[in-house]
Amino acid sequence: MRNVSRPRLTPKGRATRNRIVTAAARLMFEQGVAGTSTEDVLKAASLASPSQLYHYFGDKRALVQAVIEHQTESVLDFQRPLLSRLDSFEALEAWRDAIVAAQRAVGCRGGCPIGALSAELSDHDLQARARLATAYCAWEDALRAGLQVMQDRGELTADADPGYLALALLAALQGGLIMTQARRDTVALETVLHAMIERVRCHATA
Query: Model pTM?
Result: 0.84
The fold adopted by the segment(s) 69-201 is Tetracycline Repressor; domain 2 (1.10.357)
Distance CA 86, CA 145 (A): 8
Per-residue pLDDT at 2 exceeds 80: no
Amino acid at 189: L
Q: Give the pLDDT of residue 51.
A: 86
Domain range annotation of the chain: 1-58, 69-201
- Cβ within 8 Å of residue 206, ≥6 positions away: none
Is domain 1-58 given the CATH code 1.20.90 in the classification?
A: no
Q: Are 112 and 177 in contact (CB under 8 A)?
A: yes
Please report the pLDDT score of residue 7 as a whole number.
55
Q: Give alpha helix (H) positions in the chain.
A: 11-31, 38-44, 50-56, 60-83, 89-105, 113-121, 126-152, 162-183, 187-201
Q: Summarize pLDDT for 11-47 with one digit per residue, the tens.
A: 887 888 999 999 999 999 999 999 999 899 999 998 8
Work out the mean pLDDT of the chain and round it to a whole number: 91
Higher pLDDT: 1 or 27? It is 27
Q: What confidence tens digit (pLDDT) does each residue in 56-106 have?
A: 888 889 999 999 999 999 998 888 888 888 889 999 999 999 999 999 999
Run of H or E residues at 29: helix 11-31
Residue 5 has pLDDT above 60, yes or no: no
Residues making up the chain, counted from first to last: 206
90 or 3: which leads in pLDDT: 90
